């Protein structure tokens, strides 16, 4: 299985402020009654984007000037809560290619990486700079450079970081581990043979 | 060199290093349910792959099934479709499925231990973040996403980086009216919801030594709410006594060999930890949440925080957002807050001991007028045992709706949902905005006995006062 080498992501950004944005907020559970991930994009952040009566709340991603944004900016502990891959799937299917936040919840981070959607961290003040730039001019192109570990936008450059195992997997095109895991199957069998509970 | 249980189990299950530095880790036991598995089976088909070790995957249904409707087709066609899908997938790939007709169905984290599938020294994965529950047995249990469910189905392994280990020691005797649920709510209150990121938790100390397996499960269950993906307790005689004679437990000579092996996985004296946290059991009070994440907790006799007393700008913003959503006045007691719904159940607190304890106190009492109270056993086996002991009747006579097994109102992927801004006293694990099915619905997390106290008084109450629990 050949995967793209994701060395950088460029696009317009949109800032969704807040800390501890949990997976229920990213994709409410009622939209998980599905047997494929297709169609989840339209339900991303649904309950924050709509009033209880179903009217739009003017959420940043619905603002006309941010339509088509592919880089999501947010706060600390993004993606906390459940292990539902529906959360990064919904973000990805809504058109996003990468997320910049102060930090990420563990399972969400791994799920996103496996989809080839880089999650990178940056200092709060640097995220604020990017947010200010995309607010001032929504057409601003933001580039996340996974090789140089920097984000470039509107003539500015800030440092970003990413766990090395994820960065390595993205830039070398092995972010979905399935191929490698299958290659290891003979060794898997040897390891399993040493564990009595694995016997049939 | 002395090792922790985490290191020993990790080493025993390490297959090889992957190119990016992660480990290909053997997952000995895989549990699946209807919500996070159908896409994984779809991916397997797309890639033309088979299930590598079908006898090491076990399935049940819990999230979407209605707990007040046994006859199929279910009223919700999407729920029925998911039910049909998991049946089809299990049949096609040769996976054991604890369907409703088996009498063994239930919330996946209750079924695994009940069947003796969850064993010490093993690795376990399930497409559900509360998989850490199984760590109560000295297993290393991971909540995973659907692509990883695919990986485990196809290879019985997944790619993972090692975690750091934090030992959380709780010592001493809990005060009367304080439960395992309070212990974990207290821990998360101290660490915050992301304090555990990157860690596996080893829960230890005399409080855990004295805990039953069900109490240990309640604590391990909510590890993820503090950010820790894994939580475990070292296996001991309590663990072995629980597992003896369970359907999937080893039998005869194999049992003795297994116990010896299981003991060898326990952390060695002198093992080193990346962090150690110590808590005095006597400092833990009945704890309730007041906000919109499980770290926003206070003891029942404290006041709801005020933005004025915030410790940082972030804290202040968090308090303002939470109070606005929860519609709670700043700086006032949480005790006395009117509730609309009382929910007993979930993978955190839907076990026999939870219902026994509640029945002991609500016997002869009535749910307050205007409160909807539901009691949802975590599995068909829990339900049956409750019936044998008359617990279902005690709860029904008190005014609780007694349901069939499932996740129910913990996450509202089924007909049990809050309506409007109803406030729910809940024995579940998450109080996120909208978690219980209404976009303005409000959740206060607490122990089952505290839920019972709220149900009978119609307000958030101190169960020790309501039920005259001696505080000595």
What is residue B279's predicted lDDT score, i.e. its pLDDT?
Answer: 98
- Residue A145 backbone phi and psi in degrees, to 5: -105, 110
From chain B, the residues in CB contact with A164 under 8 A are 20-21
From chain B, the residues in CB contact with A174 under 8 A are 18-20
C-beta separation of B229 from A107 below 8 A: yes
Cα separation of B128 and B133, whole Å? 10
Rg of chain A on CA atoms, in Å: 18
Domain boundaries, chain B: 5-265, 287-466
Cα separation of A79 and A25, whole Å? 9
C-beta separation of A24 from B433 below 8 A: yes
**Closest approach of chain A CAs to the CA of B383, in angstroms?**
26
Cα separation of A5 and A118, whole Å? 12
Task: Give me the residues paired with residue B305 across strands.
Answer: none
pTM equals 0.97
Task: For residue B106, give the 3-state DSSP assignment.
Answer: strand
Instruction: Tell me how many degrees the CA angle B89-B347-B431 measures, rounded to the nearest 5.
Output: 115
Cα separation of B365 and B367, whole Å? 7
Alpha helices, H only, chain A: 23-26, 46-49, 86-93, 106-114, 124-136, 164-171, 178-183, 185-193
Q: What burial letters (b/e) apply to B286-322, b meaning 16+ CB within 10 Å?
A: bbbbbbbbbbbbbbbeeebbebeeeeeeeebbbbebb
Cα separation of A107 and B243, whole Å? 30
Tell me whether residues A198 and B53 touch, CB distance under 8 A.
yes
B30: nearest CA partner in chain A: A198
C-beta separation of A88 from A63 below 8 A: no
What is residue B289's predicted lDDT score, i.e. its pLDDT?
Answer: 98
Cα separation of A46 and A146, whole Å? 30
From chain A, the residues in CB contact with B160 under 8 A are 110
Tell me whether residues A28 and B434 touch, CB distance under 8 A.
yes
**Closest approach of chain A CAs to the CA of B362, in angstroms?**
32
User: Listing from the earlier edge strand, what are the strands of the sheet with B157-160?
Assistant: B14-17, B23-26, B157-160
A197 vs B119, B193, B438: nearest CB:
B119
Cα separation of A193 and B251, whole Å? 20
Residue B354, token pair as written in the block: 């939870």
B5-265 folds as Aconitase; domain 3 (3.30.499)
From chain A, the residues in CB contact with B411 under 8 A are 24, 29
In this structure, how many other beta carbons lie within 10 angstroms of the beta carbon of residue B55?
A: 12
Q: Which of B14, B45, B148, B200 to mutate to test the interface with A (most CBs of A within 10 A)?
A: B148
Cα separation of A34 and B36, whole Å? 9
Q: Which of A29, A175, A193, A195 to mutate to test the interface with B (most CBs of B within 10 A)?
A: A29
The residues near B260 (Cβ < 8 Å, ≥ 6 apart) are none
C-beta separation of B229 from B142 below 8 A: yes
Asked, as a colleague might, if the bond just before A98 is cis with ω within 30 of 0, I would say no
DSSP assignment letter at B357? H
C-beta separation of B437 from B409 below 8 A: yes
Cα separation of B349 and B363, whole Å? 19
Residue B295, token pair as written in the block: 């770290």
C-beta separation of B217 from B109 below 8 A: yes
From chain A, the residues in CB contact with B413 under 8 A are 29-30, 32-33
Top-level CATH class of A8-175?
Answer: alpha beta
Task: Give me the residues paired with residue B279 across strands.
Answer: B170
Task: For residue B26, give the 3-state DSSP assignment.
Answer: strand
User: Listing from the earlier edge strand, what are the strands of the sheet with B230-233?
Assistant: B230-233, B199-204, B164-171, B275-280
C-beta separation of B429 from B294 below 8 A: yes
For the structural domain made of B287-466, what CATH number should be given? 3.30.499.10
Q: Whose CA is closest to A50, among A30, A69, A65?
A: A30
Tell me whether residues A28 and B439 touch, CB distance under 8 A.
yes
Task: Supply the ipTM of this predicted assembly.
Answer: 0.96
Q: Which of A39, A102, A178 to mutate to test the interface with B (most CBs of B within 10 A)?
A: A178
Task: For residue A66, give the 3-state DSSP assignment.
Answer: helix
| E strand residue ranges, B368-472 | 372-375, 400-402, 423-426, 442-445
What is residue B470's predicted lDDT score, i.e. its pLDDT?
Answer: 77
Task: For residue A24, give the 3-state DSSP assignment.
Answer: helix
What is residue B472's predicted lDDT score, i.e. its pLDDT?
Answer: 43
Residue A91, token pair as written in the block: 């973000």
A105 vs B159, B197, B433: nearest CB:
B197
**Closest approach of chain A CAs to the CA of B151, in angstroms?**
6
C-beta separation of A88 from A23 below 8 A: no
C-beta separation of B23 from B289 below 8 A: no
The residues near B397 (Cβ < 8 Å, ≥ 6 apart) are none
**Closest approach of chain B CAs to the CA of A59, in angstroms?**
15
| E strand residue ranges, B281-336 | 287-289, 297-299
Q: How far is CA B266 from CA A135, B66, B114, B131, B235, in A?
A: 54, 40, 22, 20, 6
Cα separation of B417 and B400, whole Å? 16
From chain A, the residues in CB contact with B42 under 8 A are 35-36
Q: Which parts of chain A register pLDDT below 50?
A: none
Cα separation of B382 and B403, whole Å? 11
| E strand residue ranges, B295-369 | 297-299, 341-344
**Closest approach of chain B CAs to the CA of A97, in angstroms?**
18
Cα separation of B39 and B47, whole Å? 12
| E strand residue ranges, B100-256 | 123-126, 140-143, 157-160, 164-171, 199-204, 230-233
Taking only the tens of pLDDT, chain B with its 472 residues reads: 999 999 999 999 999 999 999 999 999 999 999 999 999 999 999 999 999 999 999 999 999 999 999 999 999 999 999 999 999 999 999 999 999 999 999 999 999 999 999 999 999 999 999 999 999 999 999 999 999 999 999 999 999 999 999 999 999 999 999 999 999 999 999 999 999 999 999 999 999 999 999 999 999 999 999 999 999 999 999 999 999 999 999 999 999 999 999 999 999 999 999 999 999 999 999 999 999 999 999 999 999 999 999 999 999 999 999 999 999 999 999 999 999 999 999 999 999 999 999 999 999 999 999 999 999 999 999 999 999 999 999 999 999 999 999 999 999 899 999 999 999 999 999 999 999 999 999 999 999 999 999 999 999 999 999 999 975 4
Residue B321, token pair as written in the block: 């957002």
């Amino acid at each position: 299985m050949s995967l793209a080498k994701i060395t950088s992501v460029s696009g317009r950004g949109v800032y969704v402020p807040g800390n501890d944005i949990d997976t229920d907020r990213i994709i409410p559970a009622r939209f998980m009654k599905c047997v494929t991930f297709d169609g989840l994009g339209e339900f991303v952040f649904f309950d924050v984007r709509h009033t209880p009566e179903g009217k739009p709340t003017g959420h940043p991603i619905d603002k006309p000037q941010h339509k088509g944004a592919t880089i999501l900016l947010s706060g600390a502990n993004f993606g906390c809560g459940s292990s539902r891959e529906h959360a990064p799937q919904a973000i990805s299917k809504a058109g996003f290619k990468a997320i910049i936040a102060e930090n990420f919840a563990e399972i969400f981070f791994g799920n996103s990486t496996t989809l080839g959607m880089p999650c990178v961290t940056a200092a709060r003040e640097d995220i604020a700079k990017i947010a200010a730039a995309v607010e001032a001019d929504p057409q601003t192109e933001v580039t996340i450079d996974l090789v140089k570990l920097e984000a470039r936008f509107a003539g500015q450059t800030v440092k970003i970081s990413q766990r090395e195992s994820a960065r390595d997997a993205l830039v070398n095109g092995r972010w979905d581990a399935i191929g490698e895991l299958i290659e290891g199957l003979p060794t898997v069998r040897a390891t399993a043979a040493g564990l009595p509970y694995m016997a049939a | 060199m002395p090792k922790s249980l985490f290191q020993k189990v990790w080493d025993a299950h390490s297959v090889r290093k992957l190119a990016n530095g992660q480990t290909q880790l053997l997952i000995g036991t895989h549990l699946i349910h209807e919500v996070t598995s159908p896409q994984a089976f779809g991916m397997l088909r797309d890639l033309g792959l088979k299930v590598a070790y079908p006898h090491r995957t076990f399935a049940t249904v819990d999230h979407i099934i209605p707990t007040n409707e046994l006859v199929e087709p279910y009223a919700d066609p999407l729920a029925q479709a998911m039910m049909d899908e998991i049946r089809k997938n299990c049949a096609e790939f040769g996976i054991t499925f604890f369907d409703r007709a088996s009498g063994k169905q239930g919330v996946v984290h209750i079924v695994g231990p009940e069947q003796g599938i969850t064993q010490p020294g093993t690795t376990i994965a399930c497409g559900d973040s509360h998989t850490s529950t199984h760590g109560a047995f000295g297993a290393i249990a991971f909540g995973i996403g659907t692509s990883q469910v695919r990986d485990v189905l196809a290879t019985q392994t997944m790619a993972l980086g090692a975690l750091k280990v934090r030992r959380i020691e709780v010592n001493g005797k809990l005060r009367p009216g304080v439960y395992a649920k309070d212990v974990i709510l207290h821990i998360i209150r101290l660490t915050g919801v992301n304090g555990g990121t990157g860690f596996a938790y080893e829960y230890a100390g005399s409080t855990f030594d004295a805990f039953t397996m069900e109490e240990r499960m309640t604590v391990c269950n909510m590890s993820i709410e503090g950010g820790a993906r894994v939580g475990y307790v070292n296996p001991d005689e309590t663990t072995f006594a629980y597992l003896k004679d369970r359907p999937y437990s080893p039998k005869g000579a194999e049992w003795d060999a297994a116990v010896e092996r299981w003991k060898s996985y326990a952390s060695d004296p002198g093992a080193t930890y990346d962090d150690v946290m110590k808590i005095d059991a006597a400092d833990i009070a009945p704890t309730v949440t007041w906000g919109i994440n499980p770290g926003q907790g206070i003891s029942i006799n404290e006041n709801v925080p005020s933005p004025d007393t915030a410790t940082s700008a972030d804290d202040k913003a968090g308090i303002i957002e939470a109070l606005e959503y929860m519609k709670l006045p700043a700086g006032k007691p949480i005790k006395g807050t009117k509730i609309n719904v009382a929910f007993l159940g979930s993978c955190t607190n839907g076990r026999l001991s939870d219902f026994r304890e509640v029945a002991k106190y609500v016997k002869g009492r009535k749910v307050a007028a205007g409160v909807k109270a539901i009691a949802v056993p975590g599995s068909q086996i829990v339900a049956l045992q409750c019936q044998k002991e008359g617990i279902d009747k005690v709860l029904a006579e008190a005014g609780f709706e007694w349901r069939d097994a499932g996740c129910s109102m913990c996450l509202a992927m089924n007909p049990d949902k809050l309506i409007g801004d109803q406030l729910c006293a809940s024995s579940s694990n998450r109080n996120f905005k909208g978690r219980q099915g209404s976009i303005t619905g409000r959740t206060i997390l607490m122990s089952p006995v505290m839920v019972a106290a709220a149900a009978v008084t119609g307000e958030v109450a101190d169960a020790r006062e309501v039920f005259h629990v001696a505080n000595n």
